[in-house]
Structure 1
Amino acid sequence: MSTERPRSPLPSGPMEGVDESTWMDVIQKMDEVYTRLIDDEVELEKKNAELEQSQQFIFSVLTSMSDVLVVCDENGVIEQANAALCELTGRPEEQLSGTPLHALLADEQSRNLARAAMEKADAPRAGEGIELNLLDRAGQSVSVDANCTPRIGDKGRRVGTVWVGRPTAELKRAYHEMRAAHEALKRTQQQLLHSEKMASLGQLVAGVAHELNNPISFVLGNVHALSKYSDRLRTYIAAMHANEPEAVLAEMRRRLRIEHLLADLPSLIEGTLEGAQRTADIVHGLKRFSAMDPEERKPVNLVEVIDRAIHWVQKGRATPVEVQWAAGEPVTVMGSAGQLQQVMMNLLQNGFDAVSHLDAPRIRVSLERGDGMARVALRDNGPGIPPEHLLRIFDPFFTTKPVGKGTGLGLSISYGIVEQHGGRLGAHNVDGGGAEFVLELPLA
């Protein structure tokens, strides 16, 4: 910029009617105008530099965008495209400029959707989401989640459209991988739940064997008696078919005790059926507990769940533990009977382990309902839970038992089951000694 002051053409001699002060005023005004021109030129250069910086900033933003950006005029012809679109299509911006947007779309459906979005008179200012398929540099279809925003001119009229899109192929692949991983995690969790259940069931084997021994022994004894009675009846009936004399038949009835046999048969058959039914009930209970639990939720009577859990855990203990429990009216929740029984058995086994060293071990179980919740409390008379363990007892694999005596999964899995049922499981120490576990479940 040149700052040389222009020379003022001054008259060589005085002019008539113009004194020297007037010339001084003219010169001063010219100096002010010149100074203002210089300031305006400096300001113009400053604005020009700021404009170049703004353009450079916008260009750098467009270049660094990972999403594709296309600016179209009112006819759908591309006016500007960013580097991401150039990279995706394999074309430079100079080649894309002036190209109809439809030429970049892979199928007729995408072209129809884009045309409808650009021709919509009442398009939302916030934009409209559309899924389009673009052609990449290899001519392959690429799914793009695009947002169509109207471009408004200075008179409030729509003068074009701005498209911002994100290729979703990677997102979809990541989503499918995440979904597959989630399904695998669910299967692993279910297998872990089942394995822990089998570990609990293994602790009950001795008690189950004893439980099965009584009815099976009873059935075997009755079957042996029925076998002997069958032989006597066969002998007597054969004599009748041989038309033996009445005296001989009377002697055989006395010797074979036929009248006693006939009188004893109903009780033998009834006892055998009862023993077989008890055996079937025990096996059915074991099968139901060990089976993989279904996903659907059904009405479950918590009283029956607690009864079964107490029965099975008691049978699996070498030394008996006093359990104070009074079954009352049915209390129904929605859930899986097998999973809830597993929770109750885990809580009972932990309580039994805590008091097993005492001379008079005792567990008190209570069931109450109120405020739409069923509340089960299990309190023992043991030493309680150390304060440093209270916050960790539901952590996976945390256990204070010796190696081989516990997996550290029982309470953790129980906590997860209760959460899945929409309930809460907590533990605390009580005044006077002992710990109390509280299970709350929504009433059906």
Structure 2
Amino acid sequence: MSTTGRPADLTTDSPLPAATEQLGEQAWIEVIQKMDEVYNDLLQYEVALEEKNAALEESHQFIESVLASMSDILIVCDRNGNIEEVNPSLSHIAGKTTEELQHKPVFDLFADDVERAKARDIFARFGREGVHDCEFFLRAGDGSTVPVSMNCTPRLSQTGKLMGMVVTGRPVGELRRAYSALRQAHDDLKRTQGQLLHAEKMVSLGRLVAGVAHELNNPISFVLGNVLSLQRYAGRLDAYLNAVHASPAAADAGLQAMRGELRIDRIVADMPQLIDGMIEGAERTRDIVDALKRFSAVDKMQPEQVSLNEVVERSMRWVVQSAASKFAVDLDLPADLRCSGSSGQLQQVVMNLIQNACDATANQPRATLRIVGSRADGMAVLRFIDNGPGIAADYLDRLFEPFFTTKPVGQGTGLGLSISYGIVERHGGHLTAGNAPDGGAEFVLALPLESL
């Protein structure tokens, strides 16, 4: 020990400095190793983070593509009913961008105050349970209203706390139009089916009528020929009897008694009337048979260009002049309505339609008929609208059947419309019957237009 009290010098022949250096190097090595481990961990975390970001970006793009492809509208709202997110379908309907719609009350999307009040009430009452297929009207960007079938479900947190609601909706305007088009197609199909059935029935009736007309024609001709011969014979017998009764032998009492007993004078007086009645009935039957033959026969006429204006005006004059009571016809025809066919046969059709209108309006205070012409889809259309009582629903399907008539017995044969229907069909057109919206019967005659 030093006498001065100072510590001894330890630097000489001491092992401590070397140990300290070894400890320092080891510590640095451990630090570097830890830094390498941390760096490796950071690299792994960065790689994992980049993978997660890529997956998240891909999921985000997928969700955006799904939202953009949705035809239904999607609205995400907070608990106060303010819009947080929408899809492009709603932006397209509302005519606003996503930024313009965000943070706006969802009820501002509805068409008017009534719809907004209805939506508030329904969403408030069924917000927790959800709203399903409730129809509302939204205000579109052009100011129109769009019917939308909407669904609303609550949006909850992981703890079950209400965070807002998700509203989806499907515009039903296209669906309604599709249903309307389907209904129209169904009605057209039913109408076409009815027309086909009617046409088939008319063909069958035509064959039947042709056979009946052929079978009746010979006996009617035989009866009519015999009656005409009997008429000539009756005249000769009458002259002969007059000569016999004028002779001196006619003064014989027995001959006079026989004359009175056999009522010869009455028979001679009644015979002309009886023969005239037989002739009238036979001629009427012959006319019916001729009409049946025209109804069933295939027309072999040479088609010509026909002015429907002239046909209608000529038919109108003939019917009005022969009408028993005052009958007014109002014409509204475009110029140069023309078709191809037989002028005489088409005049027969038009005269029949005008005459039927005249008969149907006979009991009206002011009998009128409106004939309105137009062009539509390559057809010349004539509408015959009277102010009569109209056609009973039970009769509409039978009007064009042979022998069907609503006139009293003896005033109609029931062949006029049947023959008219056949003539129009052979001209490539169609004839239909119905009741006008304002009352009265309405017949529609359509014929193919003739190009000038």
What TM-score, normalized by structure 1, do the two folds share? Answer: 0.44
Give the structure with higher Rg (CA). 2
What TM-score, normalized by structure 2, do the two folds share? Answer: 0.44
